[in-house]
Amino acid sequence: MKIRNMNEINITGKRVLIRCDLNVPIKNGIIQSDARILASLPTIELAVRNKAKVIIMSHLGQPKNECYEKKYSLFPIFEYLKKKIHYTKVYFSNDYSNIIAINPGEILVLENVRFNSGELKNDAILSKKYAKLCDIFVMDAFGSAHRKQASTYGIGSFVNVACAGPLLISEITMLKKVLKNPKRPMVSIVGGAKVSTKFNVLNKLANISDHVVVGGGIANTFLAIDYDIGKSLHESEFILKAKKLRDKHNNIIIPIDSRIGKNFSHTEPSTIKSPSKIKKNEEIMDFGDETIKKVINILEHAQTIIWNGPVGVFEFPNFRKGTEKIAKTIANNSGFSIAGGGDTLSVIDMFDIKNKISYISTGGGAFLEFIEGKKLPAIEMLEKNFSQQILNNIV
């Protein structure tokens, strides 16, 4: 089924509500990474240039009980946008029921949608309230496209016109390119804490990739099939499932040595050990040098790379080497690379390699679910709305 593209619609003078993904890390009111904001800017600026009345909404973090918490306010993002888009007026409002009137070419940033009762449960009353704010709804938050919530899904049932923004279109296009006809060899890297949420995507990637490198707690669960890995982060209840996956595919690359420590600490020294030598009071926190060499050799020959997640505790200097070496090898690769996931974006920022990755996805869960082959709820919503537009002769 087809979805409508924002570029196909005359938005001049219209109230255009853009659902962005501005879920960025903020510490003491200071934005730590602006990657997702920068990714959203072209859509916002396109709407401004076309003299739309631009209204922006997004979620930020996970406030408890859908109640206001200052640390999750979008106000710092509003201030950022005000400086970035200095050529027009940018306003802020925390009142969804009585928003201020703005002129064509101006911007209104609304407060965190997750402060609104019913957002997470896809409440119909809240969805209708969102729909009344606009003439046209633009879904541009790929990072939230896998969530069936009022601002990403429910609103589509109550607006006349819902369409995809340029960022969402770009994300879908790039991921389809990688999955449909990748240049080979193709290498996938999947890090992170939990293997339990990634079995399906690992199976899919193992089917389409020449090599799948696993890191972090995911790799530890695979190592626990054959070794006692001390107090390393892993999911013991999923060891059997990991074994079945490993036995099914011979292209899953599991660490042959690791950097270990006794305490989960920023200053903890690291020691390199093979899996069979790890003691009960030790934990794996990064790849060892032999594993790094093996993975780098694989990556240097890759023509297509999918990267999701760090392979170790990169926040700690002594357990950063694996993630750093792999990140820089991907950056120097001349093939096509696509990276996605919140921690992946942090790694890209840390090593300043943004301009060396072919495409950086803003999605984490959505990125993985799309790769897995799932129909994302936001895409489903846009398809349904487009069908309704045809029936109502709006197109």
List, in order, residues 6 or more apart from 137 with CB less than 8 Å away: 16, 17, 19, 130, 131, 155, 156, 159, 161, 162, 163
Residue with the two structure tokens 């992170």: 192
Rounded distance between C-alpha atoms, residue 311 and residue 330, angstroms: 13
Residue type present at position 314: F
Phi-psi region of 118 (alpha: psi -120 to 50; beta: other; left: phi over 0): left
Rounded distance between C-alpha atoms, residue 300 and residue 278, angstroms: 30
Q: Give Cα 326 distance to the centre of its chain.
A: 19
Annotated binding site: 21-23, 36, 114, 147, 198, 315, 341-344
Annotated binding site for substrate: 21-23, 36, 114, 147
List, in order, residues 6 or more apart from 2 with CB less than 8 Å away: 383, 386
By annotation, the residues acting in catalysis are 36, 194, 342, 365
Among 306, 10, 32, residue whose Cα is nearest residue 161: 10
Retrieve residue 136's tokens. 């046209």
Among 150, 109, 108, residue whose Cα is nearest residue 131: 150
Annotated binding site for ATP: 198, 315, 341-344
